[in-house]
Structure 1
Amino acid sequence: MDGNNKLIREKIALPKDGKKLLLHSCCAPCAGEVMEALISSDIDFTIYFYNPNIHPRNEYDIRKEENIRFAEKHNIPFIDADYDVDHWFELAKGMEHEPEKGIRCTMCFDMRFEKTAEYAAAHGFDVISSSLGISRWKNMEQINDCGVRAASRHPDMEYWTFNWRKKGGSARMLEISKRERFYMQEYCGCAYSLRDTNKWRMANGRQKIELGTKYYGDEE
């Protein structure tokens, strides 16, 4: 670490004497600070990338490749799970016009965390968690409830509800994103989030999102 106080981290430890963490990652910007915090605390972890909500496919590929790049830089194992987007749309039927942080998001978190927990149980991980909670745009209680529910289906598995935003985590997230020049996604990820974000932009005199063009640090 350099002399910047914002980069000073306290050592953290897995809950209940956990040995091995499977970290669900939604994207590189959210995962960057979480991964560096885990590395600095010598925690054994693997990245699990399962995000069939991300739409369209080229947006999904950009977000995934950014995460792979950062994982490879730190020699962190990366599990690339299936992009079963058709199944996600099936589960989202009837929820197309639900607001952000509503029941559609709960369904989405449940889907991703249940698959994460299943993989963890089959491959010797006793703790799961997610980088989703570091984003200020997300409801941390909603995310934690979904994670705990998914882990409870497997004996001796724990969902780690650590608050990644605290003690400068959110600021470091932004610093790392600029340092690494991560791709800057401008909506949550799903087709309905993209639709609603663009609808808001047009109503407020702003241009629609241009996918694949904006990166952290470009504005400086």
Structure 2
Amino acid sequence: MPKVDYSLSGYERPVLTTPNGEKKLLMHSCCAPCAGEIMEALAASKIDTTIFFYNPNIHPKEEYELRKEENIRFAQKLGMDFVDADYDKENWFDRIKGQEDEPERGTRCTSCFDMRFEVTAQYAKDHGFDLISSTLGISRWKDMNQINGCGVRAANPYKGIAYWDFNWRKQGGSSRMLELSKREEFYQQEYCGCVYSLRDTNRWRESRGREKIERGIKFYQEAMESLDK
């Protein structure tokens, strides 16, 4: 079989359809780099999509604002509606209490996803959406089964609302995510988002003699240009 070109310039996007003909999608977004490829695919398929930015886990507030503004910038470029949800970090810390030392992909992450998807599903119910999904699953650093389980669980209490578990990684989705991030010069965050992932990532770096994360300075295109020199 000939090799398929999955790059942004070579990939002919298929027309996506919602699982059961749902009309309005509320897409929970964690950040512009993860969301970009998904948003572009949805726009190309003319699926009525609203981006829902609810991420009280992101620490500190300056990091949260930077990630949010990058996502708003791309939503505006595509003409997508964007919902700036509440940064209720105190509720997030209450939800995570006792799980501070759990590893990535452990129960702390499950609690975090549950909280974010529950709010997404409630907003969908209150504002006439019949389908929710999330950009979190496109990242190879995440457990897709864990994410989808949280999404389904959040949607289940609401009649008429489903969770779309589409695999955005397949057919080159993850590589196009990076390619699009470079094209758009998105901010390149270097940890998942929460204070504990920042702590653990810095501990890992220090154990290998690397410098700690310096937030707010690294962008995809700039990073690639520095590697080319």
TM over 0.5: yes
Q: Deviations 1:92-150 (Å, cap 9, x if unpaired)? A: 11000000000000000000000000000111100000000000000000000000000
Per-residue Cα deviation, 1:22-62 (whole angstroms, up to 9, x for no partner): 00000000000000000011100100000000000100000
CA distance in 2, matches of 1:8, 1:190: 36
Deviation for aligned residue 1:10:
1.2
Q: Which structure 2 residues correspond to residues 103-118 of structure 1 after superposition, within 5 A?
A: 103-118=107-122
Using the size of structure 2 for normalisation, the TM-score is: 0.93
Distance 2:9 2:150 in 1: 35
TM-score, structure 1 as length reference: 0.97
How far apart are the structure 2 equivalents of 1:151 and 1:180? 32
1:37 match: 41
Runs of 4+ aligned structure 1 residues displaced above 6 Å come to none
Whether 2:187 is the aligned partner of 1:183: answer yes
Instruction: Give the drift of 1:168.
Output: 1.1
Measure, in 1, the Cα distance between the counterparts of 2:12 and 2:204. 38
Deviation per CA, 1:179-211: give whole Å up to 9, x if none: 000000100000000000000000001100001
Q: 2:100 aligns with which of 96, 106, 119?
A: 96
C-alpha separation in 2, matches of 1:196 and 1:3: 34
Check the 8 A contact 2:24/2:49 in 1, yes or no.
yes
Q: Which residue number in structure 2 is paired with residue 136 of structure 1?
A: 140
How far residue 8 of structure 1 moved from its aligned partner, in angstroms, is 2.3
Of 30, 49, 64, the match for 1:60: 64
| 1:87 correspondence with 2:87 | no
Question: 1:201 — aligned with what?
Answer: 205
Task: Give the number of aligned pairs.
Answer: 218
2:37 matches 1:69: no
State how far apart, in whole Å, the 2-side matches of 1:79 and 1:68 are. 9
Residue identity (%): 65
The offset of 1:4, in angstroms, is 2.7
> Among 67, 77, 82, which residue is 1:78 paired with?
82
Q: Which 5+ residue runs of structure 2 have no aligned equivalent?
A: 1-6
CA–CA distance in 1 between the matches of 2:68 and 2:9? 29
- Which one-letter code corresponds to 1:84 in the other structure? D
Structure 1: runs of 5+ lacking an equivalent: none
> What is the SS of the residue equivalent to 2:83?
strand
**Which secondary structure does the structure 2 equivalent of 1:210 belong to?**
coil
Q: Does structure 1 residue 123 correspond to structure 2 residue 123?
A: no
2:15 maps to: 11
Deviation at residue 3 of structure 1 after TM alignment:
8.2
Change (3 A) 1:161 1:3: closer
Output the CA distance in 2 between the equivalents of 1:108 and 1:10.
32
Cross-structure match for 2:4: none
1:75 offset after TM fit, Å? 1.1
SS in 2 for 1:29: helix
2:191 partner letter? Y
In structure 2, relative to structure 1, the CA distance for the partners of 1:3 and 1:66 (3 Å cut) is closer
